């Protein structure tokens, strides 16, 4: 089915409102999930609505939570997401961090008791649009074992980064520390499709092409042992420093069973004007120009596909629409 972005957002808002979610939170979630679809990241898009709604109905996620912010140090903000969805807390961070970063030169926000962070590239891009360089990390429910192990300890633990360019779209880097995001395996399971053999291990630590076995096993780290080490780093930054649940303490984001996931996110925003006596914007432009001098190279974060979808709308599988309408 083809939908305009406004139609898709309305569909999500109405489904969540019927599932014990406040109007304000439903709108925040809808905007984020539809933006994920527009960015071509359907694993973080409308396929998540039934799980989100089910968790709110069951009380695993508080659909009426209001994120609460404090400022314990001049350059540090703490946001308690209240066991609600991540997006209202991220919206609050996007509203508050730029002012702190411009005042202090750098700002850090520690978010606790949160949920699925979604397409984090879309979050850091919002800071770059305001002239800041931003780094974000988040942990996720355990899906990846330390290198050489079989027991999931870390999440897929994404890292996102964005930097502004003068008179151009920002550079945006967004990657999970598993070879692929777990949402892609979930999407394959929903579609009844096989997955590549280098995406995941089964419970016995053997590569599998079965999405169901993959979800019961562990994801393969990007870069093998290096990816597992980076996942540990993110676990410390996103959960150890914020007081959030570690991945192995968190419940699933895909069902309504158990306690709230209570995950953590950390965002660092840097004001380029504070870090160098030279013109930072022009220095970044020089680097970007040198990279793209080769016609076969594309800077990460180019918005072409998303920009077209902003006007043309998005196409969503009929079964995904049907599952949302059933709510």
- Return the pLDDT at 17: 98
Nearest residue to 254 via CA among 209, 214, 199: 214
Q: At what angle do helices 23-38 and 304-312 cross, to 10 degrees?
A: 120
Query: What per-residue confidence (pLDDT) applies to 182?
Result: 80
Q: Would you give the distance in Å from CA 210 to the centre of its chain?
A: 25
308 confidence band (pLDDT: 50, 70, 90): low
Confidence band for 309, pLDDT divided at 50, 70 and 90 = low
Per-residue pLDDT reduced to its tens digit, 116-126: 999 999 999 99
Is residue 305 predicted with pLDDT exceeding 70?
A: no
pLDDT of residue 184: 84
Band of the pLDDT at 64, cuts 50, 70, 90?
very high
| Total-model pTM | 0.92
State the pLDDT at residue 287.
96
CA distance 327 to 317: 16
pLDDT digits (tens, 9 = 90+) for 87-102: 999 999 999 999 999 9
Contact 21, 56 (CB under 8 A): yes
Rg over CA atoms, the chain: 19
Q: Coil, strand, or helix at residue 108?
A: strand
CA distances (Å), origin 64, targets 87, 243, 320: 13, 22, 25
pLDDT at 310: 66
What Cα–Cα distance (Å) separates residue 143 from each residue in 20, 137, 176?
29, 16, 12
User: What span, in angstroms and rounded, lies between the C-alpha atoms of 10 and 14?
Assistant: 6
pLDDT digits (tens, 9 = 90+) for 174-198: 999 998 878 788 889 888 999 999 9
pLDDT of residue 306: 58
Per DSSP, 247 falls in state G
Spell out the domain ranges in the chain.
2-178+221-276+303-325
Average pLDDT estimate for 212-235: 94
Q: Are strands 106-114 and 76-80 parallel, antiparallel or unpaired?
A: parallel
What's the pLDDT tens digit per position in 271-304?
Answer: 999 998 888 888 999 999 999 999 999 999 866 5
Candidate CATH numbers 3.40.50.150, 3.30.1370.60, 3.40.50.300, 3.30.590.10; the one for domain 2-178+221-276+303-325: 3.30.1370.60
150 confidence band (pLDDT: 50, 70, 90): confident
Among 76-80, 277-281, 316-320, where is mean pLDDT lowest? 277-281
């Amino acid at each position: 089915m083809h939908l305009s972005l406004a139609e898709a957002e309305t569909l999500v808002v109405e489904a969540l409102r019927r599932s014990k979610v406040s109007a304000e939170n439903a709108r925040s979630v809808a905007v984020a999930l539809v933006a994920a679809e527009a960015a071509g990241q359907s694993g973080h898009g409308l396929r998540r609505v039934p799980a989100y709604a089910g968790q709110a109905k069951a009380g695993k996620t508080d659909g009426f939570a209001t994120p609460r912010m404090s400022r314990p140090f001049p350059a540090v903000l703490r946001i308690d997401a209240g066991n609600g969805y991540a997006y209202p807390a991220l919206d609050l961070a996007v509203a508050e961090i730029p002012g702190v970063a411009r005042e202090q030169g750098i700002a850090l926000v520690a978010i606790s008791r949160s949920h699925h962070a979604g397409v984090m590239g879309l979050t850091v891009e919002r800071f770059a649009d305001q002239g800041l360089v931003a780094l974000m990390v988040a942990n996720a429910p355990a899906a990846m074992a330390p290198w050489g192990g079989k027991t999931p300890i870390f999440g897929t633990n994404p890292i996102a980064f964005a930097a502004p360019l003068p008179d151009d779209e920002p550079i945006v880097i967004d990657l999970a520390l598993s070879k692929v995001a777990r949402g892609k395996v979930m999407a394959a399971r929903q579609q009844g499709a096989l997955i590549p053999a280098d995406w995941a291990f089964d419970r016995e630590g053997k590569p599998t092409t079965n999405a169901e076995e993959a979800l019961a096993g562990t994801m393969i780290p990007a870069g093998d042992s290096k990816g597992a080490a980076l996942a540990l780093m993110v676990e410390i930054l996103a959960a150890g420093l914020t007081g959030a649940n570690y991945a192995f303490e968190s419940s699933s984001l895909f069902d309504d069973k158990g306690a709230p996931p209570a995950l953590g996110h950390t965002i660092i925003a840097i004001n380029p004007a504070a870090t160098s006596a030279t013109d930072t914007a022009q220095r970044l432009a020089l680097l970007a120009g040198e990279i793209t001098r080769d016609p076969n190279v594309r800077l990460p974060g180019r918005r072409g596909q998303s920009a077209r979808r902003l006007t043309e709308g998005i196409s969503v599988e009929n079964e995904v629409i049907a599952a949302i309408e059933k709510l």
